Amino acid sequence: MVERIHLSPPHMTGEELALVKEAFESNWVTPLGPHVDAFEAEMCEYLGVKGALALSSGTAAVHLGLVLLGVGPGDPVICSTLTFAASVNPVVYLGAEPIFVDSDEETWNMSPEALERAIRWLHAQGRRPKAVIPVDLYGHSADYRRIREICDLWDIPVLEDAAEALGATYGDRRCGTLGEFGVLSFNGNKIITCGGGGMLVSDRADDLERGRFLSTQAREKVPWYEHRQVGYNYRLSNILAAIGRGQLKVIEDRVACRRRIFDRYVEGLGDLPGLSFMPEAPYGRSNRWLTVIQLGEESPVTPLELMKRLEERHVESRPAWKPMHLQPLYRGKAYFPHREGYSVSDRLFQRGLCLPSGSSLREDQQDLVIQIIREAMGA
């Protein structure tokens, strides 16, 4: 069989198996258990936060974070448009209204200029956003100094979607700690994985305790099953938490590895006219979860043509996220571009391509990717 090069496959260390075996031997194979408690405590220590709540997915963490912020039917929630649908769908679960804002050119993350225009537009209607959800895109933090200045001025809480950015930093703080709540994901393609799962983190310990209650079906503390409000079946299993604990031990190695992969791509492709890379702002460190290139108008191939060339050689790649304001599901929702008449995220979707970036990617595999791209671009 021909070896396939995947975009971002899981990368196990071997330590996970011993921890999973421990879970089996203790018969803690259901949601909750000692590995869940330990995973939460270890994540708190790594991030420097007071509390963490291990959940079944990053989507569940976004949903629960919005619930804890009091988001309800009809409430406007401002969202990054350049993201995966899981960042936005929980807004709709609650009957709230997503308002989309563009990226800026310096970071590809939420545009503070577009954010401010969106807030003023709502204010002119006598409405106030219930929350803002910036996404730390492809492992790079948004500009939280500017975003927090705007949100604090208008007294709007921030729910940081750091699902792609564990291990990245903004100044001396880790991604996930820059809003009232932070969201992490341990999906199979993330920088560390449980095979599935997510986490909601915060310094607001009392709110997280309420989240803990809601995430276990809102069961009241009485001998029988009693429920006075709607809850959710959102807790992480002890087995998956065991995998996560093994993975968390090597998070800094994984970040360093993906950054080296990015640097090798720059070395191998950086001289090609019409090809550029996702920038890294000076205020933080990207975890380079995915290496993303942008092909200019002068490129001899389009991203989809290049994707086809890579696929012919059994190499997986993926277009940049299709913006939410272009999705049929959200057609007609309010959208604020970076500048009037100029949408950065539209261009990034049309010209962006994600390259294989997994921390288990071998140098010979990466060399093949580089060779295919150079050939496709006539170099």
Helix, strand, coil share (%) of the chain residues, nearest 5? 40, 20, 40
Amino acid present at 140: H
Q: Is 190 a catalytic residue?
A: yes
Long-range CB contacts (< 8 A, 24+ apart) of 146-153? Answer: 146/112, 147/110, 147/112, 147/115, 148/178, 150/112, 150/115, 150/116, 150/119
d(CA 54, CA 236): 6
- Structure tokens given for 244: 């996560």
Phi, psi of 189 (to 5 degrees): -100, 0
Q: Are 77 and 109 in contact (CB under 8 A)?
A: no
Paired strand residues for 290: none
Four-point Cα dihedral 59, 60, 65, 71, nearest 10: 90
Which position among 190, 221, 308, 322 bears the catalytic label? 190
Amino acid present at 355: L
Q: Are 326 and 349 in contact (CB under 8 A)?
A: yes
Q: Which residues are the active-site residues? A: 190
